[in-house]
C-alpha cells in the first residue's frame, strides 16, 4: 500500500471548533496526509492531551516530567547534558530548572569532579513526585494508542526514536 494511502486512512481528523451553529464538515486533508510531520503533529496533540488529563493534577509540564525522569535515571547528570537530551536551549533550561527548584523538586549542586559543572539532583519531594508520575505515565497513553496492537506500538516507538536520532533514512 502506498505511504500516502496508509497515512491518509490512518491520520485522525482534527476536531472542529465548537460553535453554536451546526457542526462543520470535516476538512479535506489529502494535501497534508502524505506528510509524516502532519500525521505526527496530529498524534502529538492527542498524546499531549492524554498527558494533561493524567498528569495535569500534579501541576507538571511534559518538559518537567522528562527532566525529573532523566535526573532520576542519571544521578550524575548536569545541566548541559539535560539541555542536549531534551533539546532545550541553556537560557530556557535555566528558567525551567529555576521553577523546579522553587517547587522543591530539584536542587543544583557543583560537581566534585568538574567544579564548572552543575549537577541536577532530585530532592525528596522531587523523588516522590517522580515516582508517582512514572506510575501514572505507565498507562497514560493507552487510550490514545488503543487502535494499535502491542507490536504496532513497539514498532511506532522504535521508528519515532530512529527518526529523532536522525537515522530515519532507509538502509
Residue 25's pLDDT is 82
Using pLDDT thresholds of 50, 70 and 90, give the confidence band for residue 17: low
Per-residue pLDDT reduced to its tens digit, 109-152:
998 888 888 899 999 999 999 999 999 998 999 989 999 999 99
**In the predicted model, is pLDDT for residue 167 greater than 80?**
no
Q: 88: which 3 cell numbers?
A: 532545550
Residue 168's pLDDT is 42
- The angle, 0 to 180 degrees and rounded to 10, between the axes of the packed helices 90-103 and 62-73 is 80
Residue 6's pLDDT is 44
- The strand ranges marked E within 23-125 are 106-110, 118-122
**In the predicted model, is pLDDT for residue 99 greater than 60?**
yes
Q: In the Cβ-directed half-sphere of 135, how many Cα atoms lie within 13 Å?
A: 6
* Domains with residue ranges and CATH for the chain: 60-142 (1.10.10.10)
Region 87-109: mean pLDDT is 96
Q: 68: which 3 cell numbers?
A: 525529573
Residue 15's pLDDT is 53
What is the Cα–Cα distance from 124 to 111, expressed in whole angstroms?
A: 19
The 3-state DSSP class for residue 165 equals coil
Residue 121 phi/psi, 5° resolution?
Answer: -125, 145
Report pTM.
0.77
Region 18-43: mean pLDDT is 84
Q: 158: which 3 cell numbers?
A: 522504535
Of 21-35, 77-91, 120-134, 140-154, the range with the lowest mean pLDDT is 21-35
**In the predicted model, is pLDDT for residue 7 greater than 70?**
no
Amino acid at each position: 500500500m502506498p505511504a500516502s494511502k496508509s497515512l491518509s486512512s490512518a491520520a485522525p481528523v482534527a476536531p472542529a471548533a465548537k460553535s453554536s451553529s451546526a457542526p462543520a464538515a470535516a476538512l479535506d486533508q489529502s494535501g497534508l496526509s502524505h506528510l509524516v510531520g502532519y500525521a505526527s503533529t496530529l498524534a502529538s496533540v492527542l498524546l499531549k492531551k492524554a498527558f494533561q488529563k493524567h498528569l495535569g493534577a500534579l501541576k507538571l509540564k511534559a518538559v518537567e516530567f522528562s527532566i525529573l525522569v532523566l535526573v532520576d535515571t542519571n544521578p550524575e547528570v548536569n545541566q548541559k547534558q539535560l539541555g542536549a537530551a531534551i533539546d532545550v536551549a541553556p537560557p530556557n533550561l535555566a528558567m525551567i530548572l529555576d521553577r523546579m527548584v522553587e517547587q522543591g523538586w530539584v536542587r543544583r549542586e557543583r560537581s566534585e569532579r568538574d567544579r564548572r559543572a552543575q549537577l541536577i539532583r532530585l530532592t525528596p519531594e522531587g523523588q516522590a513526585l517522580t515516582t508517582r508520575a512514572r506510575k501514572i505515565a505507565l498507562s497514560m497513553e493507552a487510550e490514545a494508542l488503543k487502535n494499535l496492537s502491542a507490536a504496532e506500538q513497539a514498532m511506532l516507538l522504535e521508528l519515532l526514536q530512529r527518526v529523532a536520532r536522525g537515522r530515519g533514512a532507509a538502509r
